[in-house]
Amino acid sequence: MELGEIAIALGLPLEGDPEIEIKGLAGLVDAGEGELSFVTGPRYRDAVDSSLASAFLAPPDFDLGGRACLRSAQPYPDFTRAIELLSPERATPLEVHPTAVIGDRVELGRDVSIGAYAVLGDDVYIGGRSRIDPHVTIYPDCTIGRDCTVHAGARLHSRVRIGDRVVIHSGAVIGSQGFGFAFRTDGTRARVPHRAGVVIEDDAEIGANTTIDASQAAHAHDAQGRASTRIGRGVKIDNQVQVAHGCEVGDGSTLCAGAGIAGSTRIGKNVFFGGLSATSGNLSVADGTVVLGMSGVMSDTEPGAQLVGVPVLPRRLFFRILAASKRLPELLKRVDRLERRLP
Amino acid sequence: MELGEIAIALGLPLEGDPEIEIKGLAGLVDAGEGELSFVTGPRYRDAVDSSLASAFLAPPDFDLGGRACLRSAQPYPDFTRAIELLSPERATPLEVHPTAVIGDRVELGRDVSIGAYAVLGDDVYIGGRSRIDPHVTIYPDCTIGRDCTVHAGARLHSRVRIGDRVVIHSGAVIGSQGFGFAFRTDGTRARVPHRAGVVIEDDAEIGANTTIDASQAAHAHDAQGRASTRIGRGVKIDNQVQVAHGCEVGDGSTLCAGAGIAGSTRIGKNVFFGGLSATSGNLSVADGTVVLGMSGVMSDTEPGAQLVGVPVLPRRLFFRILAASKRLPELLKRVDRLERRLP
Amino acid sequence: MELGEIAIALGLPLEGDPEIEIKGLAGLVDAGEGELSFVTGPRYRDAVDSSLASAFLAPPDFDLGGRACLRSAQPYPDFTRAIELLSPERATPLEVHPTAVIGDRVELGRDVSIGAYAVLGDDVYIGGRSRIDPHVTIYPDCTIGRDCTVHAGARLHSRVRIGDRVVIHSGAVIGSQGFGFAFRTDGTRARVPHRAGVVIEDDAEIGANTTIDASQAAHAHDAQGRASTRIGRGVKIDNQVQVAHGCEVGDGSTLCAGAGIAGSTRIGKNVFFGGLSATSGNLSVADGTVVLGMSGVMSDTEPGAQLVGVPVLPRRLFFRILAASKRLPELLKRVDRLERRLP
């Protein structure tokens, strides 16, 4: 595709030869001739100068010394659009595959795609242009908004309500029963039914094989889903994350792979949990908290706190203790020596 | 539903007006008018007094000052029964869905439900009233007892034997091959076949996307399954837990989300593993051991031990060391000072 | 089966009575009469002497005092072959099940088995004698070599290329989108498309519910897959492991259950990651590195390093610090005392 065509498709101003043929896309270091790259700011000055790319997506004020570029206020997001343009996914046929099993009172919006062997229970609604891949199970009473993608083998249990532009990756299980039991007097346990479902708001993304449990029916008839486990707007959840019953994950937060959020935890906005990090239940993680990987939060956090360790400590304190602990074996010897000299 | 009807359905004695209309259920704090709540003991005295609930499930001796109640020796388990009563799940049709693929010599008990696109291999037995949801795969030579539920997309590999009233959640993989390999002389590895299957006893529950591997064929022809990976009676396993080949999990134990039990570990009765905790292989975890979240057991444990850390320490010692370690950076300075004064 | 028949089938020299009837296989301790066991070297001398096994697989120079045996240079791998011989899996029918949905331009090698309700997208190639179990989803543009097994409910997304003799266990998700987003100027995030797929080389094994993400399209048109996430030859990956976008796992490496490898990490050959261990992204783990369970690698490692802790320390240092830390509460008191005496 010619650079000029890309400029028009992305709606970006072009500087340089519009007839440059763009055959691929790559980062500054990997890009070769005929490839489009991108630069986000001045600290990539040297990388741009030595890059073999034939053209760049670059901020308006970045001096490219006359090399071809598309000007963009947000070069990386526009680079992702360029990938979609040059290397589009195959179109999914806009059809309900004849093998799909569709329950009663199912409503499908326009241009919905339902894959082979998908199973939709009764009273399911799927918004326009959403795509349900093969082998997906949707239990009764679920709602999915517009422009969503549910990848192969994801499971939506009853009373899952999903907004618009949400992506659910393969093997994710949404709305399974929360891990709650009531001890009987004989020591056995009765399952606590979890009937309040899960709400996933617009633009969220749920990773492969992630599990998000339904909330207990705090209010059994809460039609508004106030009592549901709730994943906020724009939340990005990686693979194999566990979100237990009754949690709230605030808008814009990020949960990296393997993170585990215990029951009824309230996570604020723009919180970050690193890989394999976790919380105990029933606590509040304040807006902007950053929890590093493999760290465990056992009590409420302050807004913007940077935390690490099990249980977590403030980041600076953790690394100071870590550095000091390396001197601990020697410290024991030094104290031995002092004691010998001061008997 | 009127309170009197609930009393009759649950078989509990009523105090107060039987015509109170109960519209929902909630905890003491969340409950509003027209809702049923529950109280388990005297420490909820104040919460009951300020609760807006219209009726309570309460122990026989709990003074409610005349407010309406159902008397119960076990209010929380009876509350779960009340949820089932007021907010029942949709009934699953008692049918073998016409799309289910059923192998040879499959026996189904009475009132079994088999969902759309379920696949049952040869020589499978399913007990009465059990429910197999859509997209479940059952390999040949599996047995499932009565009143079980296997949720969508669970996989049972060959030689899995499941008792009565067991629940397998979506995406769980039971009886996959254990992670065992034999090094050849050229440095490559031969897979060790794991043919002894998995036994899951009555009333156990297996979480979503949990994996439980089959045991190696210690005795290749052990028809009794003595050599199998074994999940005891009433064991509750949360989501995304890993139980490796040849493990035993004793009756009544609990494994929280993300826990990992390495090969051939023997876990006693009523053991608790917190989220993301783990063991090394080939060890014994004694009855009643409590392992806190994100902790790693590397050797045998004593009955009733409370353990935390990687590797685990007794709980009190762990927290004493943790508290002391916060003083470590300062301690280094103090010892520096002492040494300067005692040259 | 008679011992002589086993000797012929395995191609191993027999010592002793060829008519001994072998009814099962077991380790030295568990084996009873009529069972075949194996011994790998002199340190099992006593276990052999007290074993009730009727015959052994044993190295050429191991003195069995006249007891029946099959001589083998690699007794454990040959024992796995004996398990296959005496306790074979049921044969899978060599058919494309009539319910399988097969896309356009799909090529199947000889003697391929495709299970019930498997879905193969367009332009998929499956090599000879490979077996695709029920409920497997294969998106378009995937290649699978010869003699592979893909267990029930595994998902292969587009552009996954798999070598020969690879095993993919149930619920594994290969080629899902990497967890990468580009912040827009309004604070929302655009998904970065990951179009470079995954390459899995010969003899690798991928555990149940493991997830391996596709790489970003560093070179969007890289037909050779150089930019793909890459799992090397003979790599063994356990259950519930996460391998993020753009990682390389070198030949012969081992990732135990629950391990998490963050994006763009390069893992060398014959590396070992214990259960629930992890790395940060963009680093290099050198050949032969051993990372113990629940440990976190945050920087490049040296070849053959043995590492433990979060973040990792050399194994000996970690355990010295651990031992010293147990004396820390007492150390604080000792320094208090010293200070009192030296005011």
pLDDT tens, residue by residue, C231-266: 999 999 999 999 999 999 999 999 999 999 999 999
C242 shares contact with chain A (CB less than 8 Å):
yes
Are B334 and C335 a contacting pair at CB < 8 A? Answer: yes
Contacts of B23 in chain A (CB under 8 A): 221
Q: Which pLDDT value is given to residue B117?
A: 98
**Per-residue pLDDT reduced to its tens digit, B110-152:** 999 999 999 999 999 999 999 999 999 999 999 999 999 999 9
Supply the pTM of this predicted model: 0.96
Q: CB A176 to CB B208 under 8 A?
A: yes
Distance (Å, rounded) from C-alpha A201 to C-alpha A163?
Answer: 5
pLDDT for C342: 82
A255 vs A89 pLDDT, higher one: A255
In the prediction, which pLDDT does A195 show?
87
**Of all residues in chain C, what percent carry a pLDDT higher than 90?**
90
DSSP 8-class letter at A143: E
Q: What is the architecture of the domain spanning A154-311? A: 3 Solenoid (2.160)
CB B193 to CB C80 under 8 A? yes
Distance between B74 CA and the closest CA of chain A, angstroms: 6
pLDDT at B223: 46
Contact A189 B234 (CB under 8 A): yes
d(CA C260, CA A275): 7
pLDDT of residue B343: 67
Residue C343: its pLDDT value, please? Answer: 67
Tens of pLDDT along B238-296?
999 999 999 999 999 999 999 999 999 999 999 999 999 999 999 999 999 999 999 99
- Quickly name the fold that domain C3-86 has: 3.40.1390
Q: Which two tokens stand for residue C143?
A: 């290649």
Residue C216 has pLDDT above 60, yes or no: yes
Helix (H) or strand (E) holding B47, with range, is: helix B45-50
Strand order in the sheet with C306-308: C113-114, C131-132, C149-150, C167-168, C205-206, C236-237, C254-255, C272-273, C290-291, C306-308, C313-314
Cβ of A45: how many Cβ atoms within 10 Å?
12
Instruction: Collect all residues with Cβ–Cβ distance below 8 Å to B72 and sequence separation of at least 6.
Output: B10, B12, B38, B57, B58, B59, B60, B78
pLDDT range class, residue A220, cuts 50, 70, 90: very low
Domain boundaries, chain C: 3-86
Does B227 have pLDDT greater than 80? no
pLDDT confidence bin for C221, thresholds 50/70/90: very low
The helix (H) or strand (E) run that includes residue C186 is: none
Average pLDDT, chain B: 94
For chain B, say whether A335 makes contact (Cβ under 8 Å).
yes
Residue A87 C-alpha, separation from nearest chain C C-alpha, in angstroms: 6
Where do the DSSP E strands lie in B9-136? 14-15, 24-25, 35-38, 55-58, 69-71, 101-102, 107-108, 113-114, 119-120, 125-126, 131-132
3-state secondary structure at position C156: strand
On whether any CB of chain B is under 8 Å from the CB of A223, the answer is no
Chain C residues close to B317, C-beta within 8 Å: 326
Interface check C147 vs B, CB under 8 A? no
Q: How far is B80 from chain A (nearest CA, A)?
A: 5
> What are the angstrom distances between the C-alpha of B34 and each of A102, B54, B89, B98, B168?
37, 5, 21, 43, 35
The percent helix, strand, coil of chain C (3-state, each to 5) is 15, 25, 55
At B98-110, the pLDDT tens digits run 999 999 999 999 9
Contact check, Cβ <8 Å, B325/C326 = no
Q: Residues C158, C163, C164, C167: is their CA dihedral positive or negative?
A: negative
The minimum CA-CA distance between B277 and chain A, rounded to whole Å, is 11
Residues of A with a catalytic annotation lie at: 245
Which residues in chain A touch residue C221, judged by CB atoms under 8 angstroms apart? 23-24, 87
Mean pLDDT of chain A: 94
Q: How many CB pairs under 8 A join A and B?
A: 195
The tokens for C234 are 């003979």
Q: Which residue of B134, B208, B338 is in closest CB contact with A137? A: B134
Q: Is beta strand A272-273 parallel, antiparallel or unpaired with respect to C242-243? A: unpaired
Query: What is the pLDDT, as a whole number, of residue B221?
Result: 43
pLDDT exceeds cutoff 50 at B210: yes
What is the percent of chain C with per-residue pLDDT over 70, rounded to a whole number? Answer: 97
- Strands, sheet with A149-150, edge to edge from the N-terminal-most edge strand: A113-114, A131-132, A149-150, A167-168, A205-206, A236-237, A254-255, A272-273, A290-291, A306-308, A313-314
Among C115, C293, C329, beta carbon nearest to B320: C329
Task: Determine the residue of chain B that is closest to A123 in CA distance.
Answer: B90
pLDDT in the model for residue B326: 95
Confidence of residue A196 (pLDDT cuts 50, 70, 90): confident
Q: What residue has token string 């049709």?
A: B93
Mean of the pLDDT values across residues A177-205? 95
Question: Other CB atoms closer than 10 Å to residue A224's CB: what's the count?
Answer: 9
Kindly provide the b/e burial profile for residues C278-295, where b requires at least 16 CB atoms within 10 angstroms of the residue's own CB: bbbbebebbbbbbbbbbb
Question: How far is CA B92 from each of CA A198, B86, B88, C155, rounded to the nearest angstrom?
Answer: 21, 17, 11, 28
Instruction: Show which of residues 84-113 on chain B sit within 8 Å of chain C, judged by CB atoms.
Output: 101
CA-CA distance, C16 to C54, in Å (whole number)? Answer: 10
A1, A85 Cβ separation under 8 angstroms: yes
